[in-house]
Structure 1
Amino acid sequence: MSTPPPAPTHRAGAASARPARTAEDRSARLAVTVFPALILAAAAFGFFVPSVGQALAEHTSIYLGVIMFAMGLTLTIPDFALVAKRPLPVLIGVVSQYVIMPLVGLGIALLLQLPPELAVGVILVGCAPGGTSSNVIAYLAKADTALSVTMTSISTLLAPLFTPMLTLWLAGSYLPVDAGSMALSIVQMVLIPVLGGLVVRLIAGRLVDRILPALPWVSVAGISLVVIAVVSGSTEAIVSAGAIVLLAVVLHNGLGYLLGYWAARLLRQGERAARTTSVEVGMQNSGLAATLAASAFSPAAALPAAIFSIWHNLSGAMLAMYYRRSADRHPADPA
């Protein structure tokens, strides 16, 4: 969930059945459109006014917790019921998430011979769960929004186990990794807020429905604060290695889209499920990765995640346009 904005709460079937856009839809579409510009502005602010960013840095876990609570507020029980109804595409998406992106991250770190802090940062981005902005991109791409939401939810709930374990396994040769401490941090910053938001939605659903249009902007504000904090502490790394990190991020994100799509197609999934898996695998919760990297390693290690936050929303919007235009070529693909 980078981590912006929560997806539309009506799911793919409902979206295709009724094209009318709710206030939440419009808010999410607008947020995901302007999000890269806001993140660029946040990055510039952190770079040129580092004193403010460093003052914000000690509260990054709180910002992420607010973002994840907002994600929890968008979830409903039917999001998880899809696991029982369509287990195979969900399984393919979640396994691809935790296999493709971590291994691609390691491969890129080796290929580009990244220094240890940046290598760990790239690998940690790959080991993060899916970002909630993938749900909006899936919706705009005419993919399976319900499947996207379920994949994001399941990968997020599994993050306390898989993110530390994979980071230790793949990045431990670069820098020491305290997997136990990382797992505890993910539980505190991700799992508890998400479950808390889900419980509040169950208890006060009508009240939550009234504030849903504002939730994308809560997420945008939260990730902007994370980026300001991360960039302010890694200005030297940006000057010395910004170009190579950008290259690493573009390769990582693009290969995630491509390999996610073909993983689903090779396992005989339909076009819409393949597009969903592509988006879900390529878009990461870079807000979580940045916060973990800054707290467990260094601000420089968080730089790949900060750049990923900007790039994957730009690339996701372009990918959605491509998939949307190609959707008419698959009219028989089931919803």
Structure 2
Amino acid sequence: MKLAAFSAFIQKTFALWVIFFAAIALCFPEAFIWLKSYITIMLGIIMFGMGMTMTPADFKSVVHQPKAVFIGVLAQFIIMPVLAYALCRLLALPSEIAIGVILVGCCPGGTASNVITYMAKGNTALSIACTSVSTLLAPILTPFIFYLLASQWIEIDASSMLISILQVVLIPIFLGLITRMLFKHQVERSIQAMPIISVVAIVLIVAAIIAASKAAILQSGLLVLAVVMLHNTLGYLLGFYAARCFKLEYADCKAVSVEVGMQNSGLGVALATVHFAASPLTALPSAIFSLWHNISGPALASYWATKTNKTPQKE
């Protein structure tokens, strides 16, 4: 019970931990910059934990609500990449920043979206299904869409990116699933610790990138923050109304909105670190996105939860 309570506390205060350690990393970069070499390993641990928590029940919505899942995943891989491209063109962003913005836009939904959907009193089962399906499709769709949209700025090796996503996403998830199958009882006893481990890993990933990008943040941080805030907000808005256009239930619309707006920015950081190491500014949009969507997500969830409590008959 103590572990469950502590895990719940860590998840509820996730945004505060991200902000706190990002601020420390900005002031004392030498304390965190060495972690940059371990970003892909930390992301692999997060994905391994996701695999350990996945069950056949997570995919029930794919069978029971195929339309909603299809709309959610389709919106994820259309709205955010197109929004990213449009913002880069309209704002005439420098190439390094543009590549980073498009990269995070092409990533699948993040696991934090499931918690936020639950907090918002949305359809959590739908959110989990959309996250799982978009993550499994990411090795193909993320490099392909990124190549289509960002190749005008830089030469892209889509096949190498596909291999990277397999290594840091699909293989750890698969190993997590196998571990749960082989050691079901042991895993179920320790599963409550996985959110804590994931939060620690994400906080350290953000801190590492902030530390490594201090000079870039001081030079372009406000511009990147403004673009990320706009990207994230429009993602929530367009995701919600895309679901509305297809006449999904209100709880489903909230799930799709959060799923679209919240990206697996840790994957964006890892891909930028591996494939664009010569351009450290490229990882900055993903790092700031991770920081910002963990502030905007809980805020949006609180608004929807309050609205639902006040006017349940309208939902």
Shared fold per TM-score greater than 0.5: yes
**Structure 2 residue corresponding to 1:122, chosen from 85, 101, 105:** 101
Q: Name the aligned partner's letter for residue 53 of structure 2.
A: T
The alpha-carbon deviation at position 193 of structure 1 amounts to: 0.6
Counterpart selection for 2:215 from 220, 224, 236: 236
Instruction: Write the deviation string for residues 11-50 of structure 1: whole angstroms up to 9, x where unpaired.
Output: xxxxxxxxxxx87875554223322222223323333333
CA contact (8 A) 1:32 1:133 kept: no
Given residue 300 of structure 1, which amino acid in structure 2 is its aligned partner? L
Matches within 5 A, 1:1-335: 26-27=5-6, 29-297=8-276, 298-328=279-309, 329-331=311-313
Separation in 2 of the partners of 1:199 and 1:272?
32
Corresponding position of 1:13: none
Q: 1:95 to 1:307 in 2, by over 3 A?
A: same
Flag structure 2 segments of 5+ consecutive residues without an equivalent: none
Change (3 A) 1:256 1:26: farther
Structure 1 residues 242 and 284, CA gap change in structure 2 (3 angstroms): same
Q: Distance in 2 between matches of 1:205 and 1:136?
A: 23
Quick one: distance in 1 between partners of 2:308 and 2:145? Answer: 35
CA deviations on 1:136-179 (whole Å, 9 max, x unpaired) are 01111111111110000000000100111111111111122111
Distance of 1:199 and 1:230 partners within structure 2:
31
Deviations 1:257-307 (A, max 9, x none): 000000001001010100110011001100111111121113211111111
Paired letter, 1:159: A
- Give the CA RMSD over aligned residues: 1.7
CA distance in 1, matches of 2:28, 2:136: 36
Sort the Cα spacing of 1:186 and 1:23 in 2 relative to 1 into closer, same or farther, 3 A: farther
Q: Which range moves more in the overlay, 323-332 or 237-246?
A: 323-332
Range that drifts further, 203-212 or 126-135: 203-212
Q: How far apart are the structure 2 equivalents of 1:313 and 1:143?
A: 17
Aligned position for 1:16? none
Letter in 2 for 1:230: I
TM-score (normalizing by structure 2): 0.94
In 1: Cα distance, 2:120 partner to 2:72 partner: 17
Q: What is the distance in 2 between the residues matched to 1:325 and 1:46?
A: 34
Unaligned runs of 5+ in 1: 1-21
User: What's the CA shift for 1:54?
Assistant: 3.2
Verify the 8 A CA contact 1:27 1:213 in the aligned structure 2: no
Farther-moved stretch of structure 1 (62-71 vs 228-237):
228-237
Q: 1:79 & 1:168 partners in 2: Cα distance?
A: 31
- Going from structure 1 to structure 2, the CA distance change for 1:232 and 1:131 (only over 3 Å counts) comes to same
Q: Percent identity?
A: 45
C-alpha distance in structure 2 between counterparts of 1:25 and 1:264, whole Å: 33
Work out whether residues 259 and 278 of structure 1, in 8 Å CA contact, stay in contact via their aligned partners in 2.
yes
* Matched pairs, number: 312
